[in-house]
A and B are shown apart, each in its own frame.
Chain A
Amino acid sequence: MSSVTLRELTKQYAGNAGLSLDSVSLDVAHGEFICLVGPSGCGKTTALRMIAGLESVTSGEIEIGDRVVNDLAPRDRDIALVFQSYALYPHMTVFGNMSFGLKIRKVPKDEIKAAVTDAARILDLEQYLDRKPAQLSGGQRQRVALGRAIVRNPAAFLMDEPLSNLDAKLRVQTRAEIARLHHRLGATMIYVTHDQVEAMTMADRIAVINLGKLEQVGSPRELYLRPANQFVAGFIGSPSMNFVPMHVESIDGGIRVVSAGGDMDVNLDDVESAMIHRAGVSDVVLGVRPEHLDHRPRSGRGLQLSASVDVIEFLGNDEHVHLSSGSHELVAIVDARTPLTIGDTLTLSASSEAIHLFHPETGVALK
C-alpha cells in the first residue's frame, strides 16, 4: 500500500508572517495520479517538499502507506522526487546518476545493472548511459531525472513541474511519456504544475490550491463542469471563464439577472432560480466559459448579449475574440471561418446549462 494522506497540513516558514500552506487535507489513493495546481507562490512546492521530508511540518500529519512520516528523514520515506531543475549530478555519467541511490542502498551490482538498463530502455536512454548530463539535451536530462526516480521503485513519485524547462513540443511528448509511465508502473504520483492543461490531460484527480488553501479536489471533468468556487472556475479552462456581476430581478414566472449597465440579461431556468432563492442574494456573479458563448441568436432561456469586437486572436481552427459589452470585457471562442473585423457588433448567447452562478461575496458556487 502506498497511499499518501495529508491531514490538516500546515506550514509557516520561519520569518514569514503568513502561512505558506494552510490546513490542507488530501487523500491520494494507491496508484493514483494527482496533480497539485495553483498560481505561482500558492504553496505547491512547499507541500511536495514537506511530503518528501525536505521541509519540517508546522502542524498536521503526513502519512505514506500506513506510517506517519512526519519525523522520518527523507531517505526513510521511500519516495522519489523529480526536481524542477532536474538536479542531476554533473560529475557522474547517466548510469552513475541513475544508480546512485541503489549503490547507497547496497543493492548487488548485477541488480543495479538490470534496473538501470530496464529504466533506460523504458525512457529510450540506452545509448546515453556513458554520457555526462552536460552532453545531453534538455529533454534527455529530463528523462534521466525520471529514470533516477524509476530505478528505485519507490512507494510514491513526487514531481515538481518537471516539464517547465522544456519547449512546447517536447513538453507534449514528455507529458505523454509520463502518463504512459504511470500506467506501466501503476505507482502513486503527486505531480505539481501551474499549467492547467498539463493537469487536465494527465491527472486522475486535480487538487487546486490558492494562497496555501485547498480550493477543490476532483476529476478534471468535475472541476471543469462543476467548479466549487469562482477561483477554481477561473483557474481551470483556457481562456479563463468570463465573470460578470449581475443584479437579480423578479419577473413574472421566474427570475432574471441583469448586468449593471443593463447590456446583458439572462432569463434563468427553474433550477437556477431555485439556487438564487436558496442563497437569498440580490446580487450574483455570472460565469460563462468562452467556448460556451455561441455566435448565434437564441430564443428562450439563457444568456443573450451583444458586444463589440476589440481584439481577434487567430489560432487556426478557431479564434479568441476579446469583446466589450458596456463596461464588461469578455472572451469568446468562435469558428475561424466567421468573417469578423475589429469594431463589429456580435450577438452572443449561451444556454442556461453553460451558466455558472457564484455568491458575490464568498465566490462559492450556488447550489
Chain B
Amino acid sequence: MSQVPSVRERRTVGLLKRLRLSRAVVNVILGLVAVFWLVPTISLLVISLRPESLFGESGWWTVFTAPSQLTWGNYTTIFSQGFAAGGVLDSLTTSLEITIPVTILVALISSLAAYSLVFGSWRGRDWIFLVIVGLMVVPLQVALIPVVQLYREMGNLFGLNPYGTIPGVIIFHVAFGLPFGIFLMRNFLTGIPKDLLEAGRIEGAGEWKIFYSIVLPLALPAIASLAIFQFIWVWNDLLVALVFLGGNVHTPLTIFLYDQTRSLAANYWIVSTGAVVSIFVPLIVFFSFQRYFVRGVLAGAVK
C-alpha cells in the first residue's frame, strides 16, 4: 500500500505545513500582544497583593522569586471597613447604583426608540434619526455647565434639584448614552425582516407583544454589546461624577481612587487594591454578556 505520494499530495502536504507554521507565528504574535497588554494589570494585581511596606523596597516582579510576599492583607483592611461612607465598598456600591440603572435605561430606551424609528410608519422618522446621529458629535463637556444650571432651575421650579444626587448623574449619563444607543440599535433592527412583525401582527400580537417576543430576542446581540459599552463607559467615568457628585459623601470608585492618588505616597496600597476591585466588575459584566454575541440569530427566518 505504501506508495510514493503524488505530486498533488506532496503539494497539499507542503501547503498544510506552511499553514501550520504561519498559524504558529500568528499565535506567538498574539501571545506577545496579550502579555504586553496584561503586564500593567498583572503588576497592579501583584502590588495589591503585597504588603505596603515592601512597595518602596523592591519591585513587584520580585514576587516571582519570593512568592511568600503575597498576602490578602490589603483586601482584608479594605473590606473590614465595611460599607462606611468613604470606604472602597461604599464607593463600589455607589458605582453600581449609577451604572446599573444607566445601562438598563439606555438599553431599554434605545431599543424602544429604534423599534419605532425602524418599524413605525410616522412621518419624519428619517429626519429624527439624522438629528439623533448628529447629537453623537456633541462633546459631553460642552453640556456640563448648562445641565448643572438646568438642574438648579428644576430645583427652583419644582423643589427637586437633581444636582449632587445619584439620579442627577444617571439622567446625565442616560441622555448622553442614548444617541449612540439608538444609532446602534436602529442599524441592527433594520436587518430584521418586516415579514416577521407582520406575521406576528396577523397572528394577533399587539405592538408590545411584537416588541418583547419577536424584536427584543432577535436584538439581544446588539443589546448585549450596547450594554457592555455603556456599562464600561459609565463605570470608568470620572468627569461627570466629579461635576455632579464632587462634594458628596457617597462617591463612585473613580472619584474614590482619584482622591487617593492625590496623596499617593501614603495610599498606594489602597489605590492598587481599589483599582483591582474596579476592574473586576466590568470583567464580570463582559463575561456574563458575551454569550449573547451569537452570530446568525436571524438564520432560518426567511427563505
Contact = CB atoms under 8 A, between A and B. Distances in A.
Interface of A: 52-54, 73-75, 79-81, 83, 85-91, 100-101, 104-105, 132-136, 138, 141, 148, 152, 165
Interface in B246-303: 296-303
Given A54-B198, A133-B300, A135-B300, A87 B193 contact: yes
B218 A90 contact: yes
Query: Ordered nearest first, which 3 A-B pairs have the shortest CB separation?
Result: A133-B300, A134-B300, A101-B203
B205 interface: yes
A104 B205 contact: yes
B159 interface: no
Contact of B302 (A54, A85, A105): A85
A177 to B, nearest CB: 19
Contact of A75 (B202, B218, B296): B202
B204 A75 contact: yes
B38 interface: no
A104 B195 CA distance: 18
B199 interface: yes
A87 B201 contact: no
Given A83-B199, A87-B198, A101-B203, 17 more contacts: A52-B202, A54-B202, A75-B202, A75-B204, A75-B206, A79-B202, A81-B198, A81-B202, A85-B195, A85-B302, A87-B193, A88-B301, A90-B297, A104-B203, A104-B204, A105-B204, A136-B300
Contacts of A165: 303
Which of A73, A74, A80, A105: most chain B CB closer than 10 A? A74
A105 B195 CA distance: 20
Interface string B192-219: 0101101111111110010001100110
Interface string B173-206: 0000000000000000000010110111111111
B299 A134 contact: yes
19 contacts: A53-B202, A75-B202, A75-B203, A81-B198, A81-B199, A83-B302, A85-B193, A85-B195, A85-B302, A87-B301, A89-B199, A90-B301, A100-B205, A104-B203, A104-B209, A105-B204, A134-B296, A134-B299, A136-B300
A101 B209 CA distance: 11
Given A90-B218, A91-B218, A141 B300 contact: yes
B201 A75 contact: yes
Given A75-B201, A85-B193, A91 B303 contact: no
Nearest to B209: A104
B52 to A, nearest CB: 53
A310 B296 CA distance: 50
Contacts of B209: 104
Contacts of A152: 203
Most buried by B among A53, A134, A148: A134
Contacts of B206: 75
Contacts of A52: 202
B300 to A, nearest CB: 3
B298 A90 contact: yes
A101 B198 CA distance: 12
A87 B302 contact: yes
B290 to A, nearest CB: 18
Nearest to A75: B204
A261 B200 CA distance: 61
Contacts of B297: 90-91
B209 to A, nearest CB: 6
A83 B195 contact: yes
Contacts of A54: 198, 201-202
A164 to B, nearest CB: 10
A33 to B, nearest CB: 20
A133 to B, nearest CB: 3
Contacts of A85: 193, 195, 301-303
Contacts of A100: 200, 203, 205, 213
Given A75-B201, A81-B202, A86 B302 contact: yes
Interface string B115-145: 0000000000000000000000000000000
Contacts of A83: 195, 198-199, 302
Contacts of B203: 75, 80, 100-101, 104, 148, 152
Contacts of A90: 218, 297-301
B150 to A, nearest CB: 40
Contacts of A132: 300
Contacts of A133: 299-301
A74 B196 CA distance: 14
B204 to A, nearest CB: 4
Contacts of B202: 52-54, 74-75, 79-81
A54 B119 CA distance: 13
A89 B296 CA distance: 13
A132 B297 CA distance: 11
Nearest to B298: A90
B193 to A, nearest CB: 7
B206 to A, nearest CB: 8
Nearest to A100: B203
A255 to B, nearest CB: 55
A135 to B, nearest CB: 7
A258 B178 CA distance: 76
Nearest to A154: B202
A129 to B, nearest CB: 15
B202 to A, nearest CB: 5
Contacts of A101: 203-204
A88 B300 contact: yes
Nearest to A160: B195
B152 to A, nearest CB: 47
